[in-house]
Structure 1
Amino acid sequence: MKIAILVREETMQRCTGKGCLNAFFQRKDAFARYGDNIELVTFSHAGGDIEHKIEMMLKNGVDVVHLSSCMRGKAANYETLAKHLGEHFDVVGYTHGGAEGKEQATIIIKKAIE
């Protein structure tokens, strides 16, 4: 299974990605659901040309997009972005920390079978 992690662009100005990457590599929090057969294909911010990023993720075989916990907590477009990504991928709306957010509920979308 191929995984993408998208983080909040503004947060990336000061964040090292340690929380998201630790959760991925230690298979904890949002990544506890996976076995060992997963690959991190994309680690990027959600800003810029999202349509191009979606095209590249599709080209590279991404199955699931995780929106970072900072997206869930601080991004005004969290729900809209999750729904848009859900047209192409399964979406898990957090990476590390608790499964439920303090500000917004965690979005989990299973891509509709085409």
Structure 2
Amino acid sequence: MKIAILVREETMRRCTGKGCLQAFFQRKDAFAGYKGDVELITFSHAGGDMEHKIEMMRKNGVDVVHLSSCLRGKDPNYEVLAKRLSEYFDVIGYTHGPAEGKERETLSIKKQQTAN
């Protein structure tokens, strides 16, 4: 299983990524259900050229994209980004902390079957 984590660009300016990475490597919170061989392929922010990032993730065989908990909590485009990513990947809408956000529901979307 190949995993990508996308975080909020503005938060990345001051965040070390410790919460997301700790949850991944300790297999807790959003990553608790993963068993066996799991590889972190991408840890990046959701800003910039997202179409290029999607192509690179596809090229590198990413199966699941986790949107960080800060994206869920603070990014107004959280739902739009999740839907776009689900064209090619399964999307889990958080990384660490409570499964449900304070401000909005956590998304979990299976990859759309029509994508190539």
Which TM-score band applies after superposition, normalised by the shorter structure? Answer: over 0.9
Alignment of 1:1-114 (within 5 A): 1-114=1-114
The alignment yields a C-alpha RMSD, in angstroms, of 0.6
* CA–CA distance in structure 1, aligned partners of residues 96 and 57 of structure 2: 22
1:113 deviation in Å? 2.6
* CA–CA distance in structure 1, aligned partners of residues 5 and 27 of structure 2: 14
Amino acid at match of 2:3: I
Amino acid at match of 1:71: L
Aligned residues: 114
The gaps in structure 2 that reach 5 residues or longer are none
TM-score norm. by structure 2 comes to: 0.97
1:76 deviation in Å? 0.5
Query: Identity of counterpart residues, as a percentage?
Result: 77
Three-state SS of the structure 2 residue aligned to 1:6 is strand
Amino acid at match of 1:25: F
TM-score norm. by structure 1 comes to: 0.98
Query: Runs in 1 of length 4+ with deviation above 3 angstroms?
Result: none
The gaps in structure 1 that reach 5 residues or longer are none
